[in-house]
Amino acid sequence: MARLEDKVALITGAARGQGAAAVRRFVAEGARVVIADIEDEAGKALADELGDAAVYQHLDVTEEDGWAAAVAATVQAFGKLNVLVNNAGILHFSALEQTALADYERVIKVNQIGAFLGMRSVVEPMSLAGGGSIVNVSSVEGLAGMPFLVAYTASKFAIRGMTKVAALELGAKGIRVNSVHPGMIDTKMISDAVGGAEVDFSPITKRLPLGRVGKPEEIAGVVVFLASDDSSYCTGAEFTADGGATATHALKV
């Protein structure tokens, strides 16, 4: 039996990159998936590729009405909602003193408020389904700081904290809530944040115990575990997949 047989999942930021990798893995594991994103063309193409097991839903995660519509569309399409993956996120590089308020608020609104709205929106349908799993994608920047990422780091620390609060509140409803903390993953998010330029990862990979950046599919494997019944006793926890980045401290050279 596939690990996600009979599960229905809503995955945000799912049209490309890490989100799309999760969608493909979920479908391969037997789930039916709603692909939620603002990238309509890419999202629809992915849904067409995967056939009846997936549908696309436009969702701006910062909008309450959008969340209500996405949850309703999920239940209408597949009859229930068991899994939410809060994957949508954006990145912004700037020194603290050069960070505009508008840029800070934009990152917080997508990464932090989007995750909050998502968790709040699925409590009722998951409760009706007898429980479920919420997987919040944080980052290693939710475990420790990184220069030039004040807004992103703030948002990812917030996701880590909100995950624990939600786990405490929702456990009695049979809803588990965990956070995933990827390290450097090879997706377009980083190049997009620097204006589309090609990024040289080699200075970073030299400092990682595994000596390479991660692949989106490797994060998808962790997310599948947390969505599945294999993780039935896991809630309020942090799952790090970072090639060993957080295994050291600042005194290492």
What is the per-residue pLDDT across 178-205, written as a single tens digit (0 to 9) for each? 999 999 998 777 656 566 667 777 888 8
Position 1 in a domain: no
Question: Any idea what DSSP says for residue 208?
Answer: S
**pLDDT at residue 187, as a whole number:** 78
**pLDDT at residue 97, as a whole number:** 98
pTM over 0.85: yes
Position 66 in a domain: yes
Position 249 in a domain: no
CATH of the domain at 164: 3.40.50.720
Overall domain count for the chain: 1
Position 139 in a domain: yes
Q: Which residues are catalytic?
A: 152
Which domain covers residue 162, as residue numbers? Answer: 8-244
Position 129 in a domain: yes
Position 2 in a domain: no
The 3 state secondary structure assigned to 221-251 is HHHHHHHCHHHCCCCCCEEEECCCHHHCCCC
Position 173 in a domain: yes
Position 99 in a domain: yes
- What's the order of all strands across the beta sheet hosting 132-137? 54-58, 32-37, 8-12, 83-86, 132-137, 175-182, 238-241
Between CA 221 and CA 205 the distance in angstroms is 21
**pLDDT at residue 151, as a whole number:** 98
- Amino acid (1-letter code) at residue 112: Q
Between CA 96 and CA 148 the distance in angstroms is 7
